[in-house]
Amino acid sequence: MQQKVSIHTDKHNGLYDITSQVASIVKQSGVDTGFVNVYVQGATAGIMIQENWDDSVQNDVVALFNKLIPSGVWEHDAQDNNGDSHLKAGIVGPSETIPIINGKMGLSTWQNIFLCEFDGPRKKRDIVITILEAGK
Protein backbone atom coordinates (compact mmCIF):
# COMPACT_ATOMS: atom_id res chain seq x y z
CA MET A 1 0.00 0.00 0.00
CA GLN A 2 1.21 3.48 -0.78
CA GLN A 3 -0.29 6.86 -0.07
CA LYS A 4 0.90 10.45 -0.38
CA VAL A 5 0.25 13.19 2.18
CA SER A 6 1.00 16.87 1.71
CA ILE A 7 1.65 19.48 4.35
CA HIS A 8 2.17 23.23 4.37
CA THR A 9 5.27 24.59 6.11
CA ASP A 10 5.35 28.11 7.53
CA LYS A 11 9.02 28.46 8.56
CA HIS A 12 12.30 28.56 6.66
CA ASN A 13 13.73 25.90 9.02
CA GLY A 14 11.41 23.82 11.19
CA LEU A 15 10.30 20.38 12.28
CA TYR A 16 6.69 19.36 11.65
CA ASP A 17 5.13 16.40 13.46
CA ILE A 18 3.51 14.04 10.94
CA THR A 19 3.10 11.05 13.26
CA SER A 20 -0.71 11.13 13.38
CA GLN A 21 -1.01 11.18 9.58
CA VAL A 22 1.33 8.19 9.25
CA ALA A 23 -0.42 6.31 12.08
CA SER A 24 -3.76 6.81 10.35
CA ILE A 25 -2.44 5.32 7.11
CA VAL A 26 -0.93 2.36 8.99
CA LYS A 27 -4.31 1.73 10.63
CA GLN A 28 -6.13 1.95 7.27
CA SER A 29 -3.73 -0.59 5.78
CA GLY A 30 -4.78 -3.35 8.15
CA VAL A 31 -1.17 -4.59 8.25
CA ASP A 32 -0.41 -6.34 11.55
CA THR A 33 3.33 -6.98 11.03
CA GLY A 34 5.58 -5.19 8.58
CA PHE A 35 7.21 -1.85 7.90
CA VAL A 36 6.18 1.67 7.07
CA ASN A 37 8.56 3.86 5.11
CA VAL A 38 8.14 7.65 5.26
CA TYR A 39 9.85 9.48 2.40
CA VAL A 40 9.80 13.22 1.60
CA GLN A 41 10.04 14.27 -2.03
CA GLY A 42 12.45 17.16 -2.45
CA ALA A 43 16.15 17.89 -2.03
CA THR A 44 15.80 20.48 0.75
CA ALA A 45 13.77 18.56 3.33
CA GLY A 46 14.25 15.42 5.41
CA ILE A 47 12.48 12.95 7.68
CA MET A 48 13.64 12.47 11.27
CA ILE A 49 12.48 10.48 14.28
CA GLN A 50 12.89 12.64 17.35
CA GLU A 51 11.57 13.26 20.86
CA ASN A 52 8.08 14.69 21.10
CA TRP A 53 7.93 15.82 24.74
CA ASP A 54 7.91 19.51 23.88
CA ASP A 55 9.32 21.87 21.26
CA SER A 56 12.75 22.16 22.93
CA VAL A 57 14.41 19.25 21.12
CA GLN A 58 12.94 20.33 17.78
CA ASN A 59 14.14 23.90 18.36
CA ASP A 60 17.57 22.55 19.35
CA VAL A 61 17.78 20.52 16.12
CA VAL A 62 17.10 23.64 14.06
CA ALA A 63 19.57 25.70 16.13
CA LEU A 64 22.28 23.03 15.78
CA PHE A 65 21.94 22.85 12.00
CA ASN A 66 21.97 26.64 11.71
CA LYS A 67 25.21 26.76 13.73
CA LEU A 68 26.87 23.87 11.87
CA ILE A 69 25.66 24.84 8.41
CA PRO A 70 25.17 28.61 8.11
CA SER A 71 23.43 30.13 5.12
CA GLY A 72 25.03 32.24 2.43
CA VAL A 73 28.51 30.71 2.35
CA TRP A 74 28.13 27.76 -0.07
CA GLU A 75 29.00 27.41 -3.75
CA HIS A 76 25.42 26.39 -4.56
CA ASP A 77 24.15 29.72 -3.19
CA ALA A 78 25.15 31.28 -6.53
CA GLN A 79 22.32 29.29 -8.18
CA ASP A 80 19.39 29.81 -5.82
CA ASN A 81 20.71 30.82 -2.39
CA ASN A 82 19.82 27.59 -0.61
CA GLY A 83 23.08 25.67 -0.36
CA ASP A 84 22.61 25.21 3.37
CA SER A 85 19.16 23.68 2.81
CA HIS A 86 20.60 20.97 0.56
CA LEU A 87 23.39 20.16 3.02
CA LYS A 88 21.02 19.92 6.01
CA ALA A 89 18.63 17.69 4.07
CA GLY A 90 21.53 15.50 2.94
CA ILE A 91 22.65 14.93 6.52
CA VAL A 92 19.16 14.13 7.84
CA GLY A 93 18.16 12.03 4.82
CA PRO A 94 14.85 11.76 3.01
CA SER A 95 13.30 8.81 4.83
CA GLU A 96 12.80 6.68 7.90
CA THR A 97 11.49 3.12 8.17
CA ILE A 98 9.49 2.07 11.23
CA PRO A 99 8.39 -1.47 12.13
CA ILE A 100 4.69 -2.22 12.36
CA ILE A 101 4.03 -4.35 15.44
CA ASN A 102 0.52 -5.62 16.21
CA GLY A 103 -0.99 -3.14 13.76
CA LYS A 104 0.76 -0.06 15.17
CA MET A 105 4.04 1.71 14.55
CA GLY A 106 6.82 0.48 16.83
CA LEU A 107 7.75 3.95 18.09
CA SER A 108 8.63 4.44 21.75
CA THR A 109 6.69 6.80 24.01
CA TRP A 110 8.93 9.75 23.20
CA GLN A 111 9.42 9.16 19.47
CA ASN A 112 7.51 10.97 16.75
CA ILE A 113 8.07 11.34 13.02
CA PHE A 114 9.01 14.81 11.81
CA LEU A 115 9.24 16.44 8.43
CA CYS A 116 12.35 18.63 8.57
CA GLU A 117 11.86 21.74 6.46
CA PHE A 118 15.10 23.48 5.49
CA ASP A 119 13.92 25.69 2.62
CA GLY A 120 10.50 27.00 3.55
CA PRO A 121 7.97 28.21 3.80
CA ARG A 122 6.39 25.87 1.26
CA LYS A 123 2.77 25.66 0.19
CA LYS A 124 3.15 21.91 -0.21
CA ARG A 125 5.64 19.25 0.83
CA ASP A 126 4.76 15.79 -0.49
CA ILE A 127 5.49 12.80 1.73
CA VAL A 128 5.14 9.25 0.39
CA ILE A 129 4.03 6.62 2.92
CA THR A 130 4.74 3.04 1.82
CA ILE A 131 3.56 0.07 3.86
CA LEU A 132 4.99 -3.41 3.39
CA GLU A 133 3.46 -6.42 5.05
CA ALA A 134 5.91 -9.01 6.42
CA GLY A 135 6.04 -12.20 4.38
CA LYS A 136 4.40 -10.68 1.32
Predicted TM-score (pTM) of this structure: 0.96
User: In this predicted model, what pLDDT tens digit does every residue of 18-49 receive, in sequence order?
Assistant: 999 999 999 999 999 999 999 999 999 999 99
User: In this predicted model, what pLDDT tens digit does every residue of 51-108 receive, in sequence order?
Assistant: 988 999 999 999 999 999 999 999 999 999 999 999 999 999 999 999 999 999 999 9
Residue 4 within any structural domain of the chain: no
* Residue 42's CATH number: 2.60.120.460
Q: Print the domain residue range for 21.
A: 10-133
| Closest-CA residue to 101 (of 35, 10, 51) | 35
Residue 64 within any structural domain of the chain: yes
| Rg value, the chain, Cα | 16
> For the chain, what is the domain count?
1
Q: Which amino acid is at 99?
A: P
User: Taking the mean position of all CA atoms in its chain, how far away is CA 94?
Assistant: 7
Phi-psi region of 24 (alpha: psi -120 to 50; beta: other; left: phi over 0): alpha
